[in-house]
Chains A and B, each alone.
Chain A
Amino acid sequence: MYTKDEFCENIRLCEKAMFNLAFSLLKNEADASDVISESIYRAYKNLNTLKKKSFFKAWILRIVHNTAVETIRKNSKMIPMGEIESAAVNDYEHEITTKITVRKAVESLKQPYRTVVVLFYYENLSTIEIAHITHTNIVSVKKQLSRARRMLLEILKEDFNV
């Protein structure tokens, strides 16, 4: 379907989306970078499973999602996830005295809200595509987005109402 050069070009077009998704799940640049690298290998090896060129972005993001979830599960055996979450929340609380950016507000959301927000607002993906990437369904994605909006509105209400 793709030559190596075409594959590389498509990866470059999606690299920011891949990073945003991996970072939303792992909250750590180094781990996100490893997951992207591993996902590129897996995608290239299984290129024949891509049925249509227009599906490339959703297809590669699904692979990134799967790889990141595996990494989290492996890591959770060593570091309790609670510690990672609370460390992240503390970082966020330090920032609360200064102006809260939308990006920081998104990073402060818990899962699965953080990931659906990143895919919906950063990547402009449809709820069908998000459901496909995150192995869930459209109704759940819509519910998660609705809850995430309420949480974001709560954090950003002062700035939004200005």
Chain B
Amino acid sequence: MNNFDEYIKHKLSEDDTELPNSVKSKIEETLAKLPEKETPIKQIRTFNRIAAAAACFIFVTLFLLPNMSAAYAQDLEQIPVIGDIVRVITIRNYFYSDAKHEMNINIPKIENENSELFLPINADVKELSEALVQQFYDDLEYIGDEGHSSIYVDYETITNTDTWFTLKLLVHEAAGSGNTYYKYYHLNKITGKTVNLGDIAAGADFYNIVEQEIITQMTDAMEKDSKLIYWTEANDFGDDFVSLTPEHNFYWNENNNLVIPFDKYEVAPGYMGTPEFVIDRELIKDAMKPILPGKPLSEQPDS
């Protein structure tokens, strides 16, 4: 996709348009009407100095010490799964807490004799987690004393069988209202490759069947209970709708059926939480790519 990104940026730079004159004059008119303003520079500076001292104290006691001290870090670290073949460990814990802001981010790493197989997953988990840490500190500076914010990141091993491995990353953010989302990472242990939804879809049919089944389940649920609301069609402003991409989250449940989870607000109002839909494997088996390429369906292992 990088080539496509470059293509778009190149085309846009060629097609760079000037700001319309009417807009430009309205902006200048607005700026000219702004009153002269005395900003409370002294007050802000004093506040910043106190805040900086407090932040420094919190940084040293709650963040720097745990991360510099091996013993402290070991206490914080948990090892949820040590399987025969794959194990997941916490490689880093980012913790921060004050009266209005809280962060607790556990960064996992998947370890295996054949570690390079997990490099793409480990790299993505690290990148996302560190971006969230950075976002927390940016928000902390941005919001300051004027609001609350919190972020929690944790993980869970969903599947660890002979053939399949799935790690779930859980993110819960709150600033005003809360937002929860998940990211699932899969490794096909037979092929040694990371897998996304696009890798198990044989073609467009797969998405059509799954999307239609989700909409049917949503409609049935709403008919049975009038308190339930799902957005089954695209609406006109900002809200998402049921449309799967090759990168959409999924996992296999204990009955080996496909589960499609959605983030909070993705297909329903916030009070509906993070809905999940189970798709019977029978429904999609003909639209799926085989786990073992070249082998007939009868010889395919379960996921």
Q: Assess whether A8 is interfacial by the CB under 8 Å rule.
A: yes
Which residues in A have their C-beta under 8 angstroms from that of B23?
15, 19, 29, 32-33, 36
Q: Mark A49-93, 1 if CB is under 8 A from B, else 0.
A: 101100100010000000001001000100001101100000000
With beta carbons under 8 angstroms apart, the residue of B12, B17, B39, B173 that contacts A2 is B39
Q: Assess whether B293 is interfacial by the CB under 8 Å rule.
A: no
With A32-B23, A111-B236 given, is the CB distance from A40 to B39 under 8 Å? no
Q: Mark A111-144, 1 if CB is under 8 A from B, else 0.
A: 1100000000110000110011000111110010
Residue of A nearest to B235 (CB): A81
With A137-B181, A138-B128, A143-B247 given, is the CB distance from A41 to B39 under 8 Å? no
Q: How large is the interface on B (under 10, 10 to 19, 20 to 34, 35 or more residues)?
A: 35 or more
Q: How far is the CA of A160 from the CA of B3 in the complex (A)?
A: 9
Which residues in A have their C-beta under 8 angstroms from that of B19?
15-16, 19
With beta carbons under 8 angstroms apart, the residue of A16, A102, A137, A150 that contacts B179 is A137
Q: Is the CB of B171 within 8 A of A137?
A: yes
Which residues in A have their C-beta under 8 angstroms from that of B234?
110
Q: Give 4 nearest A-B pairs by CB, closest first.
A: A81-B236, A102-B11, A37-B30, A8-B31
Interface residues of B (CB under 8 A from A): 1, 4-5, 7-9, 11-12, 15, 17, 19-20, 22-24, 26-27, 29-31, 34-37, 39-41, 44, 128, 131-132, 134-135, 138-139, 141-142, 144, 146, 171, 173, 179, 181, 183, 234, 236-238, 240, 243, 245, 247-248, 263, 266
